[in-house]
Amino acid sequence: MKLYGVQAVVLNSRQMRDADRVLTLYSREKGKIQAVAHGVSKPTSRKRGAVQPFCHSEFMLRRGRELDTVSQCEGRDIFPGLWNDLDRMGYAAYVSEIVDGLTVDGEPNKAVFDLLLGTLGKLETANVPDLTVRGFELRLVSLLGYRPHLDSCVSCGNESLNPVAVFSAANGGLLCKSCAAGTGEVPCTGETVAVMRLLLNWDPAKVGRLRVSIRSRDEMRKAMGEYLQWLTEKRSRSMHFLESVKEYRTTD
Ligand SMILES: [Zn+2]
């Protein structure tokens, strides 16, 4: 029975049989892990606090044949500011869902862990939480190797994207007006392009000082939404491909 310790953020917690829950953790040491926490739905469970969604906890896990199990855990930070406010809780759930959707089990990435933890902390007090989340999305996709191209038109290299460009998820960045094809593209004003560039390169602690129009915030939300959806689908397509190759090989 092999035990190992990790510090992790709880991305998701699903009810199993009895009082057990299956946790999806994002750990600093081992990346994403699925683990069973026995008895944590009982009101008397001492582990209860440390396995709540968004909680940053220390875990001692026992390796299992299918799923690992939680042997011990202790909460480090439960981010109380997220639990007192439904909007902030919604943003935290969204951030957790994106990390879950774009990562695979057992591929550690310390920078992703630090970004996730830092973002949950900032969401407790951020005065413009949607911009904090946009900055998180841009940095997350960059850390995973999908930094969007925002400096010029992906297709022709045209740098004058003001006053208007489009964001194309399938092209991984911006297209100028003449290269835009129309389908699945999100129009972006010059302001939107400028703010996205800033968020990609800027210190996240300074995001609260930005003044951004509602229109630009809306355009960024749509552009990043399209991009994340496209990346998630691409990831599940390649997972599916790997699975079918594996099946082919085992039946060979
Ligand atoms: Zn172009």
103: in domain: no
Please report how the helices 129-143 and 214-251 are oriented relative to each other, as an axis angle in degrees rounded to 10: 30
Cα 71 to middle of ligand 1, angstroms: 56
Q: Are residues 238 and 152 in the same domain?
A: yes
Residue 252 has pLDDT above 60, yes or no: no
pLDDT digits (tens, 9 = 90+) for 131-141: 999 999 999 99
Contact indicator for 224, 134 with CB cutoff of 8 Å? yes
Burial-class residue 1 by CB neighbours within 10 Å (0-12, 13-18, 19+).
Answer: exposed
The full DSSP string for 52-67 is: STT-EEEEEEE--SSS
Q: Which of 79, 107, 124 is the last residue of a domain?
A: 79
Rg (the chain; Cα; Å): 20
**Stretch 201-224: mean pLDDT:** 90
**Stretch 202-227: mean pLDDT:** 91
Please state, rounded to an integer, the average pLDDT across all residues of the chain.
91
Domain containing residue 50 = 3-79
Q: Are residues 240 and 149 in the same domain?
A: yes
Angstrom distance (rounded) from CA 143 to CA 62? 29
229: in domain: yes
107: in domain: no
Cα 161 to middle of ligand 1, angstroms: 9
How many Cα atoms within 13 Å fall on the side-chain side of residue 77?
Answer: 14
User: What is the reported pLDDT for 168?
Assistant: 96
Cα 180 to middle of ligand 1, angstroms: 7
Cα 159 to middle of ligand 1, angstroms: 8
DSSP code, position 126: -
Please, what sign has the CA dihedral across residues 52, 57, 58, 61? positive
Percent with pLDDT over 90 in the chain: 73
Query: pTM of the prediction?
Result: 0.91
Cα 151 to middle of ligand 1, angstroms: 12
User: What is the reported pLDDT for 150?
Assistant: 95
Angstrom distance (rounded) from CA 244 to CA 133? 35
Cα 142 to middle of ligand 1, angstroms: 22
Contact indicator for 90, 81 with CB cutoff of 8 Å? no
Q: Which of 36, 53, 79 is the last residue of a domain?
A: 79
Contact indicator for 148, 141 with CB cutoff of 8 Å? yes
User: What is the reported pLDDT for 246?
Assistant: 67
pLDDT digits (tens, 9 = 90+) for 226-236: 999 999 888 77
Cα 219 to middle of ligand 1, angstroms: 19
Cα 144 to middle of ligand 1, angstroms: 26
pLDDT digits (tens, 9 = 90+) for 15-60: 988 889 999 999 999 999 999 999 988 888 888 889 999 999 999 9
From 197, 210, 126, 110, select the one nearest 159 (Cα to Cα).
197
pLDDT digits (tens, 9 = 90+) for 83-95: 989 999 999 999 9
Range list of β-strands (E), 41-107 = 56-62, 68-77
Cα 154 to middle of ligand 1, angstroms: 7
Cα 231 to middle of ligand 1, angstroms: 22
Cα 147 to middle of ligand 1, angstroms: 19
Q: Angle 182-171-233 (CA atoms, 0-180°, nearest 5)?
A: 100
Cα 171 to middle of ligand 1, angstroms: 11
How many Cα atoms within 13 Å fall on the side-chain side of residue 88?
Answer: 18
- Residue type for 7, please? Q
Q: Are residues 58 and 158 in the same domain?
A: no
Look at the chain and report how many structural domains it folds into. Answer: 2
Q: Which of 37, 53, 79 is the last residue of a domain?
A: 79
